[in-house]
Amino acid sequence: MSGLARARVTFAIVAATAAISFYVLLSGRVGITAVLGGFTPARFAGLTIPPFHGAPVPAVLTPLTATLLHAGVGHLGFNMAGLAFAGALTERALGGRGLAVLYVAGAYAAALGQWFPNPLSTVPMIGASGAVSAVVAAYALLYGRRRTRTLGPGRGAVVHAAWLALAWIGLQVLVEVAGFGGGRVAVGAHIGGFLAGLALAGPLFAMRSSRIGRGLRANRLP
């Protein structure tokens, strides 16, 4: 199986996200679309959307629809480049179903991470970086070299994940303090998505390995 075929879910997400984001960017309606389809924490506290031309996406779906919207070509390109690289390799390990579960869970964990520090924020969040952070975390955990193997397979994996989490959180804090992106970087979303990726990579890999094992046993001749 070719590398492209093994990563068909990853590239389907990239293609769909790029198509929708470019359409919105070219239409010049990024602002209105962000309000209608972006993740706005205060909507879960009863905030009503002003009457624009178009109905707002149900709040419960906005963590997903927000991943399909981007503020500019650079924003889109950076996220999709990260997803294409880390996602293709992660999908080889987790399978297409596992990658899809990871991406969706990362989107919701990112929304939770953005909601938690300011539940009444009326600023919509758009972009796939939170969901992509989950994929990057899984990639780092599955393919990174662990220097903690001497602690044993179980403890070593936990310590490795903890170091990755601390390093990522530290990086996001530096981004916030330095003011990159004019303070508009969704740091909470990046942290939430990354932690979800660390938590889910192992179980998803084990589930896929179990399915493959059952399939091989079922295909054996009696």
Q: In order of start, what are the domains of the chain with their CATH numbers? A: 3-218 (1.20.1540.10)
What's the average model confidence in pLDDT over 114-123? 94
Return the pLDDT at 219. Answer: 47
CB atoms closer than 10 angstroms to residue 192:
25
What's the average model confidence in pLDDT over 130-141? 95
Work out the percent of the chain whose per-residue pLDDT is above 70: 82
At residue 123, does pLDDT exceed 60? Answer: yes
CA distances from 9 to 26, 57, 100 (A): 26, 24, 7
Higher pLDDT, 35 or 47: 35
At residue 153, does pLDDT exceed 60? Answer: no
Return the pLDDT at 5. Answer: 59
Return the pLDDT at 181. Answer: 57
The burial of 1, by beta-carbon neighbours within 10 Å (0-12 exposed, 13-18 middle, 19 or more buried), is given as exposed
pLDDT tens per residue across span 70-82:
999 999 999 999 9
Return the pLDDT at 151. Answer: 46
Q: Comparing 110-124, 141-155, 175-189, which segment has the lowest mean pLDDT?
A: 141-155
> At which residue do the structure tokens 């309000």 appear?
35
pLDDT tens per residue across span 7-32:
999 999 999 999 999 999 999 999 99
At residue 115, does pLDDT exceed 80? Answer: yes
CA–CA gap between residue 109 and residue 165 (Å, rounded) = 14
